[in-house]
Structure formats: C-alpha cells, structure tokens
Amino acid sequence: MTAGVAALWLHRNSLRILVRRDLAVKYQQSVLGYFWSLIEPLGMGAIYWFVFGVLYSRDTGRHLGEAAGSYPLFLITGIFAWMWTSSALSEATNALTGQSRLITTMNVPRQVFPIGRVTGRFAEYAAGLPILIAIAVIYAVHGRIHPGWSLLSLPLAVVVQAVLLIGLALLLSAWNVLMRDVERLMRLIIRVLFYATPIIYPLSLVRESGLPGWLKVVYELNPLVGIFQLHHAIWYPDEFPDARLLATTVVGSLLVLVAGWWSFRRLEPAVLKEL
C-alpha cells in the first residue's frame, strides 16, 4: 500500500488532469455550469426545511436543541457534505467501466480513476463552502450560533470523509467491473444511507428513540454517522462526537480504506482482463 501511495504521488499530475477533464465534461453543455453544484443542495435544503422546519417545527425543535434557531444552517451543512458522499459513490462505482479505453492505454496506477471521481466531487463541495460560511455569518451576527474552536472540526471531517470515500470508491469500482449489479445496488444503498445518517436530523433523536439498544449500536457503527456529526459540530459544538463514536468513525474509515485498496490490487488482473 505504501508503494501504491508513492506511485500515486508520482502521477499526481495525471490525477489533476483527469479531475479537470471530468469537471469540464460534466458542465460543458450546461448554461449554469458549476452553479448546479450549489443549486441542487440548496434546493434540497429548502424542501427539507419546509417539511421539518415549518410543517413539523414543534417536533423538530424538541430534539435540535441549540440548532433549533438556525435549522436551515444545520440542514445545508449536512446536505452539502452528503452531496459529496452520494455523488462520489455513484460516479466512482462506474469509474472503471466508463473509462475502459483510458485505463487500458494510459500508463498510470489504476487507482487514479476512482480516486479522481472522489477528488472531483470534493472540488464541488469546496465550491459550496463560501455559501455555507455566508449563511453561518448571518446566524452568528444574530447570535443564533457561536462558533469557536469547533471550526477545527471542518478539516477533520473532510480528511476522515475523504479516507472513507476513497476506500469505498476503490472497492466498488473494482467489483462493479466483475458484477454489474453493484451499480444498481448502490442506488438503493445510497438512498437508505441518507435516512440512516444524521444529516437532516440530530443524532440525539436516534439515541433518545425507542429503538432496541443493539440497533442503536449498529447504527453508530456506520462511519458516516460520526463524519456528519463532525460536520454539524463546525457550528454546533454540542454535536461533536464523543470519544467512542469518534474512535469508531476514524478506525472504521481507515479499515475501509485498507480493505478497498487490498481488494482493488487483488482484483486488478481480473478487472483488466474484463475491460
């Protein structure tokens, strides 16, 4: 794995070129271009705010605590991070099948292709950060939030999320070449993960629910739970994951990265033969 990382670093220019190409192709016939990476999460945030912040405001406010007065910021923070997750997983799954000609002709580590999809979607997430910061400033001026040291949660959340997504991208892209059902299965899994992760609701809602204890433990084994807690903790320090959840998230993400890298290397000969 160390040699593989070194090889990736040597071919970092190829990775940058692939990311630029993917972004250019994605938006080349779009009038609004990169603005779509902002419009979609903002539109989703508006819908969920209307449902949970207006129609069910009484029930929502009971569990949000400090975030009750700035629920739109809570929503947008989670949805921006979720768009990076869902887009990266969807596009990384067919990163090899959709670029077979390049893979068989370019002399670069094959990991570059799924990692490039994750990197490209991070660029879209980074493009939305100024919007997120502007909304946070408005709430901070009105005394609805009080960010401080918790702002350091952002780089930690980004690093852990990147580790998890790269591991999943390597795993899914390789298996999808050999079993095309993986791509269809991921569409369902991504939908389930959206509601099985504290994106539009606080983690306390799950912890205080009447779910069986074992199910709550299984729920928190999902590394995305701790990752989205870190994202929310940027503006709401009380949402910062406790030591057990943070350790589960970091260790789980690293294990997924190792498993993804190992699987990719083991399956690479069969994948190249299939392509």
Distance, in Å, from the CA atom of 198 to the CA atom of 221, rounded to the nearest integer, reads 13
Question: Please, what sign has the CA dihedral across residues 251, 256, 259, 262?
Answer: negative
pTM of the predicted model as reported, rounded to 2 decimal places: 0.88
Q: What pLDDT is attached to residue 61?
A: 59
Distance, in Å, from the CA atom of 139 to the CA atom of 159, rounded to the nearest integer, reads 26
Distance, in Å, from the CA atom of 251 to the CA atom of 60, rounded to the nearest integer, reads 32
Distance, in Å, from the CA atom of 139 to the CA atom of 141, rounded to the nearest integer, reads 5
Q: Are 71 and 64 in contact (CB under 8 A)?
A: yes
In the chain, DSSP finds a helix count (H) and a strand count (E) of 13, 0
Distance, in Å, from the CA atom of 242 to the CA atom of 246, rounded to the nearest integer, reads 6
CA neighbours closer than 13 Å in the CB half-sphere of residue 66: 15
Q: Count the neighbouring beta carbons within 10 Å of the beta carbon of residue 109.
A: 21
Q: What pLDDT is attached to residue 273?
A: 78
Q: Count the neighbouring beta carbons within 10 Å of the beta carbon of residue 142.
A: 10
Distance, in Å, from the CA atom of 87 to the CA atom of 185, rounded to the nearest integer, reads 15
Q: Count the neighbouring beta carbons within 10 Å of the beta carbon of residue 179.
A: 10
Question: Please, what sign has the CA dihedral across residues 216, 219, 221, 226?
Answer: negative
Q: What pLDDT is attached to residue 109?
A: 77
Which amino acid type is present at position 226?
A: G
Q: What pLDDT is attached to residue 67?
A: 64
Q: What pLDDT is attached to residue 37?
A: 67
Burial (0-12, 13-18, 19+ Cβ within 10 Å), 127: middle
Q: What pLDDT is attached to residue 64?
A: 66
Distance, in Å, from the CA atom of 2 to the CA atom of 90, rounded to the nearest integer, reads 27
Distance, in Å, from the CA atom of 21 to the CA atom of 84, rounded to the nearest integer, reads 18
Q: What pLDDT is attached to residue 66?
A: 62
Tokens of 187: 């569409």
Distance, in Å, from the CA atom of 258 to the CA atom of 166, rounded to the nearest integer, reads 10
Q: What pLDDT is attached to residue 167?
A: 94
Q: What pLDDT is attached to residue 219?
A: 93
Give mean pLDDT in consecutive 10-residue pieces for the chain, a chain of 275 residues.
Answer: 66 77 69 67 80 66 65 90 92 81 75 88 88 89 82 94 94 87 87 91 86 90 95 90 94 94 87 76
